[in-house]
Every structure is written in C-alpha cells, then in structure tokens.
Amino acid sequence: MFVFVTIIFVFVAYAISIKFVYYRYSQLWPHLLNKISTPLYTVGNSNFCPTQKRSSALLRNSEDDKPRLTANETRVLIVTAHPDDECMFFAPTVLKLVESQAAVYLLCLSTGNYNNQGLQRKRELLDSCAVLGIPSDHVTIIDDKELPDDPAVEWSTALISSLILRHIRNYGISVVLTFDGRGVSGHANHIAIYKTLRHLVSAGRLPEGCQIFSLHSISLLRKYLSVLELPVSWLLPSDFCCVIGQKEYKCAKKAMLCHRSQLLWFRRLYILFSRYMFVNTFQAITVETKNVKIY
C-alpha cells in the first residue's frame, strides 16, 4: 500500500512540475524572443537564391514572390542537412517563432537523395514547411554533388560557408539555428554544418550582431521520454529554448507525416516518444577566448 501511494504521489508531483514548466515558460517566452530580436542591418538582395545557380531546387519564380521584410522583423535562418530535419528536430522552434510572427527561413543543404528519392523528398519538404508555417519562398533546397546525403562523404566547408553567409547577408538574418557538435543523431552531415558555423564564428566572418545557436544533443534515455523530459531540460542550462504543447505537437506530427517516403516503423515511434517533438534547447556558439596570464 505504501509503495502504491508513493508511486501515485511521485506521478502527481511530476505532472504538476510539467504544468509549472509550461506556466513559467509562457511568462518567459517574450523575454526569450526579445533576446534574439534585436534588428541588425539593412537587408541586401531580397531576390537572392543560391539554388538558382547551383541546383534545380525551387524557389521564387517572380517579382511578386519576393519576401516582404520589415526593418524590425526578427529573421531566423534554420540550417539543416536533409528534408525532414526541419520537423524531426526543429519543429518546436519553428512553430514558436512562426506563432510570434518572426520571419523563418530554411536552408536545407541536400535533397535527401541517398535512396534516389530526391525529387519526392523535395516535395515532401515543401509540404512539411507549409504545415509548420514557413512560406515556400523562404525555403532553399540545395542540390549539389559536393553535398550528397551520405554520412560517408565529407561535405565541403567552403561551399557550406558561402551558402550560409550569402543567406545571412541577403536576407538580413539575425539568428542562425542548427545542430551541435554531436548532430543530435550523430549524422556526419549534421556535424559538418556545426563545424562550418563554428569556424565562421571563430574566424569573425559573420556580420556583426548575428547570433548562432546549436541544438543540444542529449542522451538516448532523455531523448525518448517525450514530454516527460521537459522538467529536466528546464533545470539544465541553455541559452535559448522553445517548448510547445499538445496543440502544436499535433501540427509537428502532421509535418512529420508529410515525409511519407521516410515513414518507417521507427519514425512512427519517434513521433510518439521523441522529446524533440516538444522541446528544443540551444547553446550559443561564441568566440572561444583563452585566459591569458600577464606577468
């Protein structure tokens, strides 16, 4: 009887802690958004689209499709490696930013053509972005032989750097979000993006004031606790975080289901149990400074 009562008490206490995190997060979200919302510099060429030169991927087809930008608009660039990364790992972030009327751009560095499904996966990515609230003219899909969907191929740092820098400068991006050094899933293409951005930061090649955040990789146990992991993420330090509830989760799930070519049994389990369907926590990528002793 005592054990049963203890289990019930722990369950109720944990449920209350999750409710408390949601309550506190709703109060802190405006502050978190303001942290990344400082306007930076004048937008460059709003017609820019690297895929027009380097790939057959889609984007803008007419002057009427130009992005409509305002001086004080928060402009966020999410850099991913493959179609489905945007909803599999970044859905909470995209949904919160879109809800807050930020301009969200997506740069996907490959077509996901590992199994010769590139064309289908491009369409699936655009469908997923439509569900998440990213306009099609904010989506760039790179189709380049130097950036194949293949963990055994080392991606070109120079090419990734040029694509990211041109996006930042031409769209007036103030925040860039991507993977961390472990790539969340350990995929080499994810890690290559992090290494490139870390290099750009350390080399001082980013426009002044542009902030870079990397998505925390976590242990396998935490990764598959679903919403139960939320209090743990809340207690651990992070520089930026996004949390969504059941309503937004349904939207994230719908976006995942757009990637029909990838819906194997373990992806369906991922949708049910992954913590990344509910919460994203980020670490800022900053210039590393060494302590220098003066004698």
pLDDT of residue 83: 97
pLDDT tens, position by position, 210-242: 999 999 999 999 999 999 999 999 999 999 999
Q: Are the beta carbons of 71 and 112 closer than 8 angstroms?
A: no
Q: Are the beta carbons of 277 and 91 closer than 8 angstroms?
A: yes
pLDDT tens, position by position, 172-187: 999 999 999 999 999 9
Q: Are the beta carbons of 89 and 53 closer than 8 angstroms?
A: no
Task: Report which secondary-structure segment, H or E, holds 255.
Answer: helix 246-257
pLDDT tens, position by position, 96-118: 999 999 999 999 999 999 989 99
Which amino acid is located at 284 in the chain?
A: A
CA dist list (Å): 65 to 59, 98, 104, 135, 269: 9, 19, 16, 10, 38
- Measure the CA–CA gap between 98 and 281, rounded to whole angstroms: 17
Q: Is 23 exposed, middle or buried (0-12, 13-18, 19+ CB in 10 A)?
A: exposed
pLDDT tens, position by position, 43-65: 444 443 433 334 444 443 333 44
Strands 279-284 and 75-80: unpaired
